[in-house]
Amino acid sequence: MSSLIANGLEHHVQELGEGGVPVVMLHGLVIGSLASWYFSAGPALAKTRLVRMYDLRGHGRSQRAPAGYDTATLASDLLELTTDLPPFDLVGHSWGALVAIRFAIEHPDCVRKLVVVEAPLPPASAIEIGAFLTANPEDVAASLPESLRASVATGGRQAKRLVENVVHLVRDTTLLADLRAEPEPPLKDLYTPTLALYGDRSSCLPAGEHLRTSAPHVELKVLHGGHYLHLNARAELTTAIIEFLDG
């Protein structure tokens, strides 16, 4: 599988493994892609189940889109990209975690268990992400995960693609406006069994406490790391996800 159409846009899709309860994995905005999971927790999960990952619209190898970066539209994309699956487990990082929360609230019969990693509950998330995207290049580079900072510093092909994508999303799409307009999800309506994973060095950690106390069935687990737990706490993150989904 290499591509599927959702809401008229071609999405780059990859699958690993087979059998078991399927798991769908969503990445974060701007600097994220399906590689966030393909090279971290995805292969371990795929040992016992089908794992489906895809690039969000406008990201990675998916088709560029001028609009639709709000969670409602991205959740609609997710629905179209999973119509062939039985009830599945859903994992999301950062903005992808917010999309996953919205999807689980709107389509509870589709999601068996939910894992949210560093969900930056709005409106604070929009302010922080907006500040990141509109900062000067040096400040943006300093905020990247260490591995990406190294790539940008060497000026390789990955760095060029990352910079081009950031410029496109900020200059040519509604992404910033969509982030700023995003309301907080109705967490009291989230009944799916949920594991919330946050880093002890992340500015999003208070959002994890808010999620735990606002939704009915949320377990909060704090790992040693920052916002990009799939990079700086890969083994611990993978273990936590597998134990929850298999428990």
Domain ranges of the chain: 3-123+184-246
- The fraction of the chain above a pLDDT of 70, given in percent, is 84
> What is the identity of the amino acid at 13?
V
Question: Does residue 109 register a pLDDT over 90?
Answer: yes
The topology under which CATH files domain 3-123+184-246 is Rossmann fold (3.40.50)
In the prediction, which pLDDT does 162 show?
A: 72
Read off the pLDDT of each residue in 145-165 and give the average, rounded to a whole number.
Answer: 63
- Determine the average pLDDT of the residues in 132-147: 55
DSSP the chain: --EEEETTEEEEEEEE--SSS-EEEE--SSS--THHHHTTTHHHHTTTS-EEEEPPTTSTTSPP-SS--SHHHHHHHHHHHTTTS-SEEEEEETHHHHHHHHHHHH-GGGEEEEEEES---TTHHHHHHHHHHTS-HHHHHHHS-HHHHHHHHHT-HHHHHHHHHHHHHHHHSSHHHHHHHPPPP-GGG--S-EEEEEETT-TTHHHHHHHHHHSTTEEEEEESS-S-HHHHSHHHHHHHHHHHHH-
pLDDT over 80 (residue 131):
no
Rounded to two decimals, what is the model's pTM?
0.90
- Quick one: pLDDT band at residue 134, thresholds 50, 70, 90? low
